[in-house]
Copies of this chain bind each other. A is one copy, B any other.
Amino acid sequence: MDPLTLIGLVLILFAIVASTILDGNSFGGLIGPSSVVMVLFGAMGGALAGFRLDDAKKLPKGLIIAFTGSPPEPDNVVTQLMNFAEAARREGILALEQGIAEVDDAFMKSGLQMVVDGVEGDVVRDVLETEIESMDARHSIVIDLFAKLGQYAPVMGLIGTVIGLINMLGNLSDPESLGSGMALALLTTLYGSFFSNAIFNPIAAKLKRLHAMEIAARELTVEGIMAVREGASPRLLVEKLEARLEPAQRIGAKARMGDAA
């Protein structure tokens, strides 16, 4: 679990609280239930209207992943595939069968199974890459949903503020309420901007970041599976795959063998 999305949200709340205290202001004026209703329901309405019911059901899961999701660890994938390459060289492709049973990742599992089943190389790569594209399309919808929420929240804030101003201007006969009417109108702008920039946009960004890491890990897996299928030496496989890792993770085939021992 990566804590930075939560930390970011806390930092923003801290910024608001600390600067309010520094200026000697109270928080009473910042509470506005009607603004929350306007911004949240309005943004949900505008964003969801562009999607299908099935898409909307993925929203809660996206929310949870943004705050608690763990990125995949490509480092382990390299070691795993190196071991499969080793086994394939020593005992032949069919010997991979039993190792496959222990693989957790369904994507790697199905790829290696196709290799053992003797499916042609082009078809293996094609099926795996189609699966990556199809995952890409699915994830993009959820990311897009949060991005749209982040886009509609300030717009609905603005609509709420304009409605507030119109109401205020219609009651100019009561000048004492002018200030509080305008303050109330501005609250909706505040909440629209807050929900967009402290919640929805960061979630969309975080999901995009995790998604990019998952795509990269899967592409690494595809390259590795193809190398195993072509009987590449474990050393060369590690060299090829490590070019995709962070420099600090490039420990070489030897160290990985040690790890596995």
**Contacts from A to B (Cβ < 8 Å):** 2-5, 7-16, 18-20, 22-23, 25, 28-30, 33-35, 37-42, 44-53, 55-56, 71, 114, 119, 123, 126-128, 130-131, 133-134, 137-138, 148, 152, 155-156, 158-160, 162-167, 169-172, 178-180, 182-184, 186-190, 193-194, 197-198, 201-206, 208-210, 212, 216, 236, 239-240, 243-246
Contact = CB atoms under 8 A, between A and B. Distances in A.
A183 B166 contact: yes
Given A12-B42, A162-B186, A197-B159, A4 B48 contact: yes
Which of A49, A162, A171, A203 has the largest count of B CB atoms less than 10 A from its CB? A49
Contact of A162 (B71, B170, B190, B203): B190
A12 B19 CA distance: 26
Q: How many protomers of this protein does the assembly include?
A: 5
Which of A47, A48, A114, A133 has the largest count of B CB atoms less than 10 A from its CB? A48
B30 A15 contact: no
10 contacts: A4-B52, A16-B163, A19-B35, A19-B163, A20-B167, A114-B239, A130-B243, A134-B245, A156-B197, A169-B179
